[in-house]
Amino acid sequence: MSEELGELPEAVKAWIGQRLYQQVGEFDVERGYVLTSCASVENGNPLFWDEKAASEITGGWIAPPSMLSVWFRPHHWAPQRSGASQPLQIHFDLKQALDLPEAIMTENTIVFHQPVRPGDRLETCQVLRSISPPKRTKLGLGRFWVIDVEYLNQHGKPVGTESYTGFGYRRAV
């Protein structure tokens, strides 16, 4: 089976463990997007809708913890940007480098630290942790990989970490 995908390139192996794509978010955390997110899942938690509850319980407005990755997803278009900008860029780098045209996420772990608040400007970096040998699933032949994403606020305090397991593959014929 490994012959069908070839060996893992040395250049790709070298990415493992490196802190890559360190970046500051394109925009501040903002409450309008918090409400858009809550509306999408009908989340009526008063922390996001009731200023008294937010003030008393969390010391002011916060963003839903599960929105961590939202603050780094680039605009679909921006002036002076050449080419598409992708969130979780290592995932797309792996697809291209390993010639695996399709990919899905299969597992996600999120650990939440300090609350994220409107006005925060977060920073992030991506770390590729591992790449599996070739695997065949019902979707096709490919490889699994694990990517960690670390998030800090503008004070350098950790606000969360995410770990994604992705599967890049060639579709079963």
Residue 90 to residue 112: CA distance in whole angstroms: 22
Structure tokens at 131: 């790449």
Q: Contact 4/140 with Cβ under 8 angstroms?
A: no
Residues in contact with other proteins by the rule CB under 8 A: 33, 36-47, 52-53, 56-59, 64-67, 69-70, 73-74, 76, 87, 102, 104-115, 139, 164, 171
Structure tokens at 40: 């999408």
Residue (59 or 133) nearer to other proteins, CB: 59
Specify the length of the chain in residues. 173
Q: How far is the CB of 4 from other proteins (least distance, A)?
A: 18
Residue (14 or 50) nearer to other proteins, CB: 50
Structure tokens at 147: 């990517």
Q: How far is the CB of 16 from other proteins (least distance, A)?
A: 22
Place of tokens 């992705």: 166
In DSSP terms, which residues pair with 167 in a beta bridge?
A: 104, 144
Residue 143 to residue 103: CA distance in whole angstroms: 9
Q: How far is the CB of 20 from other proteins (least distance, A)?
A: 20
In DSSP terms, which residues pair with 130 in a beta bridge?
A: 146
Residue (14 or 57) nearer to other proteins, CB: 57
Residue (131 or 149) nearer to other proteins, CB: 149
Q: How far is the CB of 11 from other proteins (least distance, A)?
A: 26
Residue (12 or 92) nearer to other proteins, CB: 92
Q: How far is the CB of 152 from other proteins (least distance, A)?
A: 14
